[in-house]
Amino acid sequence: MGIRLELTEERNAAVRIYLALTAVMVLWGFNVSIIKLLVEYLPPVTITAFRIMTAGVVVFIILGFMGLIRRPTLRESGFIVAGSLLSVVAHHYFIALGLERTTAANGGLILGLGPLLTAFLAMAILRQTPSVLRSIGFLLGAAGVSITVLTGSEGLAGMGLGDLYVFLSILSQALSFIVISKAARTLDPRLLTGYMLIIGSSILLLIGLRLEPGRITEFGDAPWFIWFAFIVSAIFATAVGHMTYNHMIGKVGVTETAIFLNLNTFFSLVGAAVILGEDLLPAHFAGFIFIVTGVLLGSGAAEELLRRRRRAGVKH
């Protein structure tokens, strides 16, 4: 009886984690199109800095009510700085510039490489040799992105600087996940998120004021729906989304949470069609299938599923 109760509690906890991660993927998927909308009306780096700074303030307000705010140690401060540079400055800088130059559909599909890059970097840093299935997954993921970028609406000409920027964005984020997983051993990932958002947005603001001088005056000319999009992106997608996702990294690990970024890819395609009215081409769906298959194999999800089935068969 006790074992059954324990298994039920574990199952319920897993369901809550899966639902939370799925909700974050919905927010992040639609946020790709929202960011695309914002950078079309306002200077990309400056509006990104204000959006993330707003998110950081919201995170600290939430943490204040939760009683989780404390000063980090010197070692934790190193992780915070590294995470700020990777997860906030590099990731958001490149995604803002990238989505200014490419479509939200292309951007969302390239962002879908997140789990694959995270697994690859984790193995490279830990010096692990990839299995045959993972190697196949890496190749399929690369093929998916190639199909998406090279056979878009403009054919070979569709491959541009914007797609490269989006790739650098997800590469930076994949590196940051490893930093977050190490920092989470002593520092609550939600508090880590708050510090990273504030520090990173401050650096981005300085970059924006340098690269986009005088363009802050454009803020007053933006229509009301742009500011509504700004609030949704800052509070829900960036503040709540990143705080929740980083918290789950501390709970279940980097690779396990990265698997859910597949859903981010799907919802980014839906958002591109619904919010921006972009055309979804056959190449987008072909790329999506290759990327998802590549992630399932390359991240180790397929291997883990096989192991669980074998264990279940032995117990049975």
Q: In this structure, what token pair is assigned to residue 32?
A: 């790709």
Residue 255 in domain: yes
Contact 195, 85 (CB under 8 A): no
Exposure letters 91-113 (e unless 16+ CB within 10 A, then b): bbbbbbbbbbbbbbbbbbbbbbb
Other C-beta atoms closer than 10 Å to the C-beta of 115 total: 33
**Cβ atoms 105, 158 nearer than 8 A:** no
Cα–Cα distance for residue pair 169/53, rounded to 1 Å: 18
Average pLDDT, the chain: 82
Q: Does residue 268 lie in a domain region? A: yes
Residue 93 lies in a domain: yes
**How many C-beta neighbours within 10 Å does residue 155 have?**
10
User: Is there a contact between 160 and 102 (Cβ–Cβ < 8 Å)?
Assistant: yes
Q: Is residue 14 part of a domain?
A: no
pLDDT band at 67 (very low <50, low <70, confident <90, very high): very high
Say what the pLDDT of residue 150 is: 63
Checking if the pLDDT of 37 tops 50, the result is yes
**Residues 119-174: tens digit of each pLDDT:** 777 777 756 566 777 778 777 777 776 776 665 545 444 457 888 898 899 899 88
pLDDT higher than threshold 80 for residue 262 = no
3-class secondary structure, 100: helix
Is pLDDT larger for residue 52 or for residue 300?
A: 52
Evaluate whether residue 75 is within a structural domain. yes
Write down the pLDDT at residue 256.
66
Q: What is the pLDDT of residue 153?
A: 45
Residue-wise pLDDT for 74-101, tens only, equals: 999 999 999 999 999 999 999 988 888 8
Number of domains in the chain: 1
Q: What is the mean pLDDT of residues 232-252?
A: 88
* Model pLDDT, residue 128: 59
Residue 3 falls within a domain, yes or no?
Answer: no
Distances (CA, A) of 297 to 259, 264, 289: 10, 17, 12
H or E stretch covering 28: helix 2-41
Q: Tell me, what's the pLDDT at 195?
A: 96
Domain that holds residue 112: 27-315
